[in-house]
Structures are given as structure tokens and as C-alpha cells.
Amino acid sequence: DTAVSQTPKYLVTQMGNDKSIKCEQNLGHDTMYWYKQDSKKFLKIMFSYNNKELIINETVPNRFSPKSPDKAHLNLHINSLELGDSAVYFCASHSGGAWETQYFGPGTRLLVL
């Protein structure tokens, strides 16, 4: 069973379109994240949600809007896609307590043409 899953795995779209990436975790974790990994492979946090509440919002354009319908899901919606949005987007969830660890999804490769 996949612990953290993302759909789709690949996304190719035109500039200006709106797209969503979905993330689900079946680990019972309270905290979920979105990361962006650019072409240089630098990994940067975008958002963090704890129990459906936004707790971290790094300097990310308003075109990016996370949505957490419940604590097992954290979706990322992107409006008016730009060329610079092309990257790999990783979802992750975090277990707290004595086993503080982040578990990553497989990533979604987004290519904006």
C-alpha cells in the first residue's frame, strides 16, 4: 500500500491553463506539505497544513492555492500556469511524536509549454 500518493505523476500543459495535483496519505499523519523541486533540483517548501489548517506559506505566488478537505488530503491548485512553474512537485506527510519523520510522495512532474 502506498503511504503517500500523488496524482497525476506526469502533467504536461499549456501556459495559462489551470491544473490541480492531488495528494493523499494513509498514514494517519496530521501534517502535510507541498515542496517544489526545480530544474537544479533545489527542494523548497511551499505550504504546510496541520489538521486542515495552513501553518506554513512560504513566498509562493497567489496562483498557487492549497486545499485540504480533510487531514488525509492536501491538493494543490495552480492557476494561470507559467513556464517557470515547470518542476517536480512533492507532497509529504509528517509523523509527530517520537518518530518525527517526513514521508514523501512519488512526485508529480509538471511541464508547462
Partner 1 sequence: AQTVTQSQPEMSVQEAETVTLSCTYDTSESDYYLFWYKQPPSRQMILVIRQEAYKQQNATENRFSVNFQKAAKSFSLKISDSQLGDAAMYFCACLNTNAGKSTFGDGTTLTVKP
Q: How far apart are the first and last CA of the chain?
A: 34
To which H or E segment does residue 13 belong? strand 10-13
C-alpha grid cell, residue 16: 495559462
Q: How far is the CB of 100 from partner 1 (least distance, A)?
A: 5
Pick between residue 15 and residue 43 the one whose CB is nearest to partner 1: 43
106 binds partner 1 (CB under 8 A): yes
Interface pick for partner 1 out of 11, 21, 78, 92 (rule CB under 8 A): 92
C-alpha grid cell, residue 70: 480533510
Of 95, 107, 86, the residue nearest 23 (C-alpha): 107
The DSSP letter of residue 113 is: -
Interface pick for partner 1 out of 21, 33, 34, 75 (rule CB under 8 A): 33
Residues at the interface with partner 1 (CB under 8 A): 31, 33, 37, 40-45, 48, 50, 55-56, 88, 90, 92, 94, 96, 100-104, 106-107, 109
